[in-house]
Structure 1
Amino acid sequence: MPEHIEVMLRSIGSFGLLLVGARILGKQTISQMTLFDFIATISIGAIAANLAFNTSIKVHHLILSYAIFIATIFLVALISLKNRRGRKFFAGDPTIVIQNGRILEQNMNKMRYTLDYLNQQLREKDVFNIEEVLYAIVETNGVLTVLKKPQYRPVTRQDMMIPSSDEHRLPVELIMDGKVMKENLKQNRLTENWLKTELDRRQLNQTEVVYAVLAANGNMYVDTTSDDILSPVDRE
């Protein structure tokens, strides 16, 4: 078999293996990763890359290695799910870096976590004054979680004693790219006649609608092909 044909076939097979592996492992591996997830993802990626173009290594050896890695990661995930100590061992513990407006330098030094990076992550949380922070915690996936002091937290409707209506569902997409989402209508006990009536009230045809969504509060947002904006700021 010509080498370029072999590389093409191996690349397709490699992509298929990655897809199967991702399906087995679930969404955890592609979300914000822990240290273990990071190591595991790099490893299976390297194996898949070698399968794609390294013709000096036998295919069945690479597939065996890949299967062992997938099985190991899956086993670790099960252990983490069932056993708190195992989860702590593989994922680690969150680390407090700010407590009551005070930076905990020792905790930061243990993680080799710099003040510059701390300030950057705080700014990403809209915090520019460390004194506003009650707790700041570096999670196991490296994300900084911030709890502000009560006097610096946003005011809610509950704080203001303002009544609010209950919401019992997520927004429902009714039309996307001009096509009616029939399955969404069916799942939410809505009909195409109802949708047509709503569009008629707005003097719209389905062909004019790019996107329509029914909000949790019962209001319907509709975006049409004609935006009626004289000077769009995103014009290319």
Structure 2
Amino acid sequence: MFFDSWTGLVRVVLVGLPAYATLVLALRLSGKRTLAKMNAFDLVVTVALGSTLATILLTSNVALAEGIFAMAVLVAAQFAVAWAAVRSPRIRRAVKSTPTLLARHGRLDEDAMREQRVTRSEILQAVRSAGSGGLDQVAAVVLETDGSLSVITTGKAGDSTALSDVTDVPRHDTRG
């Protein structure tokens, strides 16, 4: 169907503008975390907020107040879980992944790469993006919780304490 009625279009504008304004306000109130690089938990909430906005706009049997309340519930739930995760290691482990070491001292960890579904080409691209020309200049490559790759060059490794929360880093190994 190409066109149903002018009433439907007017409803989208009349309901859509306040729903959109509410979504922007909710995102601002929920803090920078919601809009920053996201981990899986943040992504789910953000997608759910977008889906809720679409439902408000396109489903005439969902009242604006119900949609706004649904967005508020999602933001409140995200805030509550994030608040609890900061205070409880058990909750943090349940909702957030940990960074994974993919390369150390110029050597790729093929098992970790396979487990995390990261290719050699992706790691090499990250190394180049970090301004390094070879793996021999790399102290570590880490798959972060948001899916990005961090590259620590040998010259900037310091005491490697930045790797303290990374999976599979030997705790006794503090070499750069």
- Shorter-chain-normalised TM-score: which range? 0.7 to 0.9
Larger strand percent: 1
Q: Mapping of 1:150-169 within 5 angstroms?
A: 150=155, 153=156
Q: Structure 2: which 5+ residue stretches go unaligned? A: 1-5, 157-176
Contact 1:95 1:107 in 2 (8 A): yes
The one-character-per-residue Cα deviations of 1:25-66 (angstroms, maximum 9, x if unpaired) are 101111111111111111101101221232243334323322
Q: Could you tell me which amino acid in structure 1 is paired with residue 94 of structure 2?
A: F
TM-score, L = length of structure 2? 0.77
Residues matched between the structures, number: 151
CA distance, structure 2, for counterparts of residue 105 and residue 41 of structure 1 = 33
Q: Mapping of 1:1-236 within 5 angstroms?
A: 2-150=7-155, 153=156
Contact 2:126 2:150 in 1 (8 A): no
* Offset of residue 138 of structure 1: 1.3
Contact 1:12 1:52 in 2 (8 A): no
Q: 1:142 is paired with a residue of what secondary structure?
A: coil
* Offset of residue 17 of structure 1: 1.5
Larger helix percent: 2
Question: Which gives a bigger RCO, structure 1 or 2 (Cα 8 Å, sep 6+)?
Answer: 2
Q: Structure 1: which 5+ residue stretches go unaligned? A: 154-236
The one-character-per-residue Cα deviations of 1:45-88 (angstroms, maximum 9, x if unpaired) are 11012212322433343233222211111111111221233223
RMSD (Å) for aligned C-alpha atoms: 1.8
TM-score, L = length of structure 1? 0.59
Q: 1:145 is paired with a residue of what secondary structure?
A: strand
